[in-house]
Amino acid sequence: MMKSCLIVDDSKVIRMVAKKILQELNFRTEEAQDGQIASEICRKFMPNAVLLDWNMPIMNGLEFLQKLRALLGGDKPVVVFCTTENDIEAYPAGHRGRGSRLPCVP
């Protein structure tokens, strides 16, 4: 069975690059430009992984993560934050080590 990844980023370019890389790794991908759209997608389809931007309009990455974890099955996806934010202290301690990762990108 093919693994799935939801790419959540307000940058169309980042989504396009991530999609290309993930599809080359045999992931089925879905895209959302903000956390609100991502939340709607997850109500219908729960991915195996989420590539998640930290700073987005409408609903940011942390707000989305909280909504995701509250959904039925929302504790399953591995969440990888991709952000230019380099202050690890800004990432809430309660979410560290819960299947979430925080790589910083230039």
The model's pTM: 0.82
Give the DSSP per-residue string, 76-91.
SSEEEEEBS---GGGS
In-domain check, residue 106: no
What domain count does the chain have?
Answer: 1
In-domain check, residue 70: yes
**Residue 43 CB contacts under 8 Å (≥ 6 apart), including other chains:** 71
- Host domain of residue 92: 3-101
In-domain check, residue 67: yes
CATH number at residue 70: 3.40.50.2300
**Which pLDDT belongs to residue 72?**
94
Contact 74, 46 (CB under 8 A): yes
In-domain check, residue 58: yes
| pLDDT over 50 at 95, yes or no | no
CA distance 32 to 38: 5
20, 40, 61, 82: CA torsion to nearest 10 = -10
The model's pLDDT over 39-75, given as tens digits with 9 standing for 90+, comes to: 999 999 999 999 999 889 999 998 999 999 999 999 9
CA distance 35 to 61: 6
| pLDDT over 90 at 83, yes or no | no
